[in-house]
Amino acid sequence: MTGYGTMMTISSSNWISMWMGLEMNMMGFIPLISSKNKTSSEAMMIYLLTQSVSSVMLMFAITISNLTMNSVFNYLIMISLLIKLGAAPFHMWLPEMMTKMSWNMNMILMTWQKIAPMMMMNNLNINNKILYMSVIMSVIVGALGGLNQMSLRKIMGYSSINHLGWMLSLTKTKNNWTIYLIIYSMMTISVCWLFKQYNIVHINQINNLNMTMTEKLNYTTMMLSLGGLPPFLGFLPKWMVIQTMMNNNLLLMLMFMMMCSLISLFYYMRTMTKMMLSFSTMNKWIKTQVSPMTINMFMMMNFSLPLILIMNMF
């Protein structure tokens, strides 16, 4: 039902059908959150109340669209979609909700659940002031919010807010944000999948893991790629944003976003430096939880695609 609601929003040609698709998506995702943990019911309530408030605002904007100016309609719809996405300054619910869900649900929330609201943003006559204000605030919150966190779920939540700020800056160019979302989804799913395999929820658990050197290198590669460090895969979407903003003469805003990206790279590195510097004491007869084929696939994904694209440029 979640997938059907998203596809309905993407393929709709009017605002009412898009709103219906968002509601179907919400009602399909809420039962998926439910699990044996007591905190899952709290996550369901957070998601229901937040999405309901934004849906009411969206429906109100659609209802009065014929009675008010076009600018008021765009204001209301943009704010409601920013709430649904979890962009700053409406981000407070996202990291808190992610701590109460499993890694599988976090993967869906950070990737698939962004598709429908972002498609609706494309159909708007976007107001630059609100958009750029949300981009700057999302980048700041995503960078500073993860600095003092020990929970990996909250770190991934603030990472999602930071990347969402970069993604929103591409909404004025029609299709570039989809490329960013696809690459970001690949990186996020690979990192969350690794956390799920080892059942990790805190930074201290990473430091205590007895990984082989190959697994350590794989984890380091994925985190640096998520931070957008060249020459890894995660640098490509940020390169797209840099080129787009330079063409639009938004140099000051671009410099600010790049500085915040360096801050976010710091807390990515904080999750792996102690693990990389410690000596591996894993016994040879203990079977690893992650298969070597999967490790090699993730490493090839992070290394090969940038090299192929760079070779095509020359």
| pLDDT (tens digit per residue) in 191-244 | 998 899 888 899 888 877 777 777 788 888 888 889 888 888 888 899 989 999
Q: What percent of the chain has pLDDT over 90?
A: 43
Q: 39 pLDDT band (50/70/90 cuts)?
A: confident
Is residue 17 pLDDT above 80, yes or no?
yes
pLDDT given at position 308: 55
pLDDT given at position 51: 94
Rounded CA-CA distance 113/22 in Å is 10
Domain ranges, ordered by start, for the chain:
2-313
Among 43-47, 110-114, 128-132, 274-278, the minimum mean pLDDT is found in 274-278
Among 79-83, 99-103, 301-305, the minimum mean pLDDT is found in 301-305
Is residue 285 pLDDT above 60, yes or no?
no
Is residue 286 pLDDT above 50, yes or no?
no
| pLDDT (tens digit per residue) in 85-144 | 999 889 999 999 999 999 999 999 999 999 999 999 888 877 778 889 999 999 999 999
